[in-house]
């Protein structure tokens, strides 16, 4: 019988204002490194979710994201210049309450490191 490999389960948190491309790229990189990733699954709805009409939907999505945190081994918070919105701070507080480790990823440093890695590999 083969030994089962453990892949850490990680929930990505942070501002969706960073953009889907950034989230997707980091999620892909972490997946290729052997992580199981929970991430944001709803894009292009910021204005609606922050309106009176979208309030209930946003609350439901926040609850779903907290469920992802509960199922995770750790949380990674994507940020730029340490900007953390209300939802992200709430998710971090929830993760802390559950005793989940929290790692902060500055997206600009992430991409700078990836570019340097690519330059090194092509030299």
Q: What is the pLDDT of residue 35?
A: 96
pTM of the model: 0.87
Q: What is the pLDDT of residue 53?
A: 93
Q: What is the pLDDT of residue 113?
A: 79
Q: What is the pLDDT of residue 5?
A: 78
Asked, for residue 4, whether it belongs to a domain, the answer is: no
Asked, for residue 64, whether it belongs to a domain, the answer is: yes
Q: How large is the C-alpha radius of gyration of the chain?
A: 16
Answer whether 72's CB lies under 8 Å from 38's CB: yes
User: What is the DSSP secondary structure assignment for residue 18, as one 8-state letter?
Assistant: G
Where the chain has pLDDT below 50, the residues are none
Total count of domains within the chain: 1
Three-state SS annotation for 23-61: HHHHHHHHHHCCCEEECCCCCCCHHHHCCCCCHHHHHHH
Asked, for residue 29, whether it belongs to a domain, the answer is: yes
The CATH number that applies at residue 42 is: 3.40.50.450
Answer whether 99's CB lies under 8 Å from 14's CB: no
Q: What is the pLDDT of residue 4?
A: 77
Domain carrying residue 19: 9-122
Asked, for residue 46, whether it belongs to a domain, the answer is: yes
Q: What is the distance, to the nearest Å, from the Cα of residue 107 to the centroid of all Cα atoms in its chain?
A: 11
Answer whether 102's CB lies under 8 Å from 92's CB: yes
Q: What is the pLDDT of residue 116?
A: 72
């Amino acid at each position: 019988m083969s030994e089962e490999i453990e892949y850490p389960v990680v929930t990505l948190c942070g501002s969706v204002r960073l953009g889907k491309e950034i989230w997707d790229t980091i999620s892909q990189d972490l997946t290729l490194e052997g992580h199981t990733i929970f991430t944001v699954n709803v894009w292009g709805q910021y204005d609606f979710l922050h309106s009176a009409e979208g309030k209930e939907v946003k609350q439901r999505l926040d609850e779903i994201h907290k469920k992802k945190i509960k199922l995770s081994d750790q949380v990674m918070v994507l940020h730029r210049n340490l900007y953390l919105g209300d939802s992200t701070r709430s998710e971090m507080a929830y993760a802390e309450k559950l005793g989940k480790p929290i790692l902060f990823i500055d997206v600009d440093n992430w991409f700078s490191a990836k570019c340097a890695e690519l330059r090194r590999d092509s030299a």
